[in-house]
Structure 1
Amino acid sequence: MPTTADSHSSLSSSPTTSKSSSSSSYFVYPVAYAVSGLLRRLSSDPEHSKGTSSGSQSLSQSVDSMDGVYTPPRRHASPFQPPPLTPLTLGGYKFNTSQSAKLLTRALAEEIRLLVPPRLQLVDEWNLMYSLEQNGVSLATLYKKCDEYRGKRGGFVLVVRDATGGVFGAYLSDAPHPTSHFYGTGECFLWRAHTLPSIPTLSSLPLPPSADTTNAQRMTTLAHPKDSDTLSPPLSEQGSRSGTSTPERIRFKAFPYSGVNDYMIFCEQGYLSVGGGDGHYGLWLDDNLEKGVSSSCPTFGNEPLSDEGTKFEVLGVELWYIGA
């Protein structure tokens, strides 16, 4: 039977033994875990190491490809095309307005239509707000006509004719009105147009000498009789009657907003101007709509719109509204 001293010594030694064993296991376990991990890595399959090396190789190739030239994927045009626009209708001319007094033709309006904002391209009717021929020579009248359209989400097409017959103008995002600051958005642009001469018809001319005339019938040229009642109508009238006349050919050039400055529209009681910078106006008209100025300006990077030069004489002015 153990004595009290023996039991006391055994009790005192047991915590020391457990403490030493726990401390030894604390250091032994990480070492054993590390050794077992090394053994597993050394005894792993060679295929696994091969896959690891191939993965690192592909990663290095992808990194190297970042320094190369990017080749975008080939894209194909969408088979879905927007429907064609409805032909334009120009309204506002008086019934007694002569054709020569009309500045804007439907062919020219279709060219301008392609450059206006898409929301306004769907509008198929343009309304004449002001015409020098119908409303008189006054810039104040033009401003007054525009008052009812201020604030609307529409567009305005300014058309000018000079003394040489040239037609040019501007598209305005806001209604012209006198104010002390510039206004308008980057949708504004300047434009000019030239009507090209029609191509003469060659159907009435005889065959050239190099043509094969073996089976050709005899052709005799006869002089027209002097009686005016028997004169045949001109070829242009014959074409218009049949509906196959040559359409009007137009050379159209536009000058969009360049982003250099925001001098789109500036109007006062004494003048109207579109574009500016460096002391130049893209288009400038006086209060009597008699004199005008057009120079190259930074706002649109345009060329002078008139063939007369920087200064020109105004023979006609029209302002059209696009919108509901």
Structure 2
Amino acid sequence: MSRSPLEKFRTIFKRSSSNSSRSNSTQSENNSLTMGGENYDYDEPPLTPLELHGYKSTTKHRLLNKELAEELRQHVPALLQISHDWELLYSIEQSGTSLQTLYDKCQPQIGESVNRRRGYLIVVQDTRKNIFGAYINEHLRPLDKKIYYGNGDCFLWKLEKGDVKDLNNKHQSIEKKEVSLNLKVFPFTSVNDFVIYSNNQFISVGSGDGKFGLWIDSNLSIGASDSVDTFGNEPLSDRKKFYILGLEIWKIC
């Protein structure tokens, strides 16, 4: 006799304890399904390890490696966490210091589905070796009018100084140093909707009261970071004004 759908279901999912606490972590709550009035716990399959595509063999200053990328992956939207191929769209070393080139390389390619969900990671290294950036849900582009874009998936992030002092050296990557990353993420607060604004003069992520969470000038050489209501963040660099050593834009889709 064939088994009922519920019996088949029970062979896959383990019935959760009726005495389980409601104070379980969010991750545990997300790993529970209800069927026929009964709760079933399940284990999510492990994510496929990330692959980073786009660095040239001659590229010396690499701002992102797999360990940092895996840490950041945990904070992007769940549907994009499944993606295991991240593509380097732009880097100062490989593409030069041109804001227009950055915008051109961020444009969706001909034939790309406009409905396909994607995200973009901004990675910055300043001359004081701070590593920080932003995750944004839309591609960067110049706007003629002051119109903000982006949604609540966006966030700012930074690494505590000292964790990745040699990250930019391809011969001394994090994997070879066995250090524990101290990543700080500052999610969208909903206090205001000044998420992303970009034009031919600058890029900004988060703003308010004349301050910016992350601001990059048209020459891609000078930046600024301050606490803003958009993300409730700390300044991303140890100086509110900083000089940019490296900048990369990655696509996640």
Shift, 1:271, TM fit: 0.4
Partners of 2:134 and 2:241 in 1: CA distance: 17
Task: Choose from 159, 166, 173 the match for 2:130.
Answer: 166
Partner of 2:243: 313
Task: Choose from 46, 57, 63 the match for 1:95.
Answer: 57
Shift, 1:105, TM fit: 1.2
Partners of 1:284 and 1:130 in 2: CA distance: 17
Verify: 1:141 aligned to 2:108, yes or no: no
Task: Choose from 152, 163, 186 the match for 1:196.
Answer: 163
Is there any run of 5+ residues in structure 2 with no aligned partner, and where?
Answer: 1-17, 22-27, 33-40, 166-174
Partners of 1:300 and 1:107 in 2: CA distance: 24
Shift, 1:245, TM fit: 6.0
Alignment of 1:50-89 (within 5 A): 74-75=19-20, 79-89=41-51
Partner of 1:182: 148
Deviations 1:21-76 (A, max 9, x none): xxxxxxxxxxxxxxxxxxxxxxxxxxxxxxxxxxxxxxxxxxxxxxxxxxxx8426
Partners of 1:74 and 1:295 in 2: CA distance: 46
- Report the secondary structure of 1:110's partner residue: helix
Partners of 2:20 and 2:195 in 1: CA distance: 38
Verify: 1:261 aligned to 2:221, yes or no: no
Partners of 1:165 and 1:185 in 2: CA distance: 29
Deviations 1:174-213 (A, max 9, x none): 0001112000110000000135389xxxxxxxxxxxxxxx
Shift, 1:247, TM fit: 2.9
Verify: 1:132 aligned to 2:92, yes or no: yes
Partners of 1:270 and 1:132 in 2: CA distance: 17
Partners of 1:314 and 1:270 in 2: CA distance: 16
Partners of 1:313 and 1:154 in 2: CA distance: 29
- Report the secondary structure of 2:108's partner residue: helix
- Report the secondary structure of 1:187's partner residue: coil
C-alpha contact (below 8 Å) 1:197/1:249 kept by paired residues: no
Compare the two structures and name the one with the higher strand fraction: 2
Partners of 1:111 and 1:103 in 2: CA distance: 14
Compare the two structures and name the one with the higher helix fraction: 1
Identity %: 45
- Report the secondary structure of 1:116's partner residue: coil
**TM-score, normalised with respect to structure 2:** 0.76
Partner of 1:123: 83
Partners of 1:143 and 1:245 in 2: CA distance: 34
Task: Choose from 81, 104, 108 the match for 2:68.
Answer: 108
Deviations 1:81-113 (A, max 9, x none): 101111111010001112xx0001111101110
Partners of 1:290 and 1:84 in 2: CA distance: 39
C-alpha contact (below 8 Å) 1:278/1:298 kept by paired residues: no
Shift, 1:246, TM fit: 5.6
Partner of 1:154: 118
Partners of 1:270 and 1:197 in 2: CA distance: 30
Quickly say closer, same or farther: Cα 1:248–1:287, change in 2 above 3 A: same
Shift, 1:277, TM fit: 1.0
Code of the aligned partner of 2:57 = F
Partners of 1:252 and 1:245 in 2: CA distance: 18
Quickly say closer, same or farther: Cα 1:102–1:279, change in 2 above 3 A: same
**TM-score, normalised with respect to structure 1:** 0.60
Q: Which has the larger radius of gyration?
A: 1
Shift, 1:142, TM fit: 0.4
Partner of 2:211: 280
> For this pair of structures, how many residues does the alignment match?
204
Code of the aligned partner of 1:260 = V
Q: RMSD of aligned C-alpha atoms?
A: 2.1
Partners of 2:209 and 2:19 in 1: CA distance: 45
Code of the aligned partner of 1:92 = G
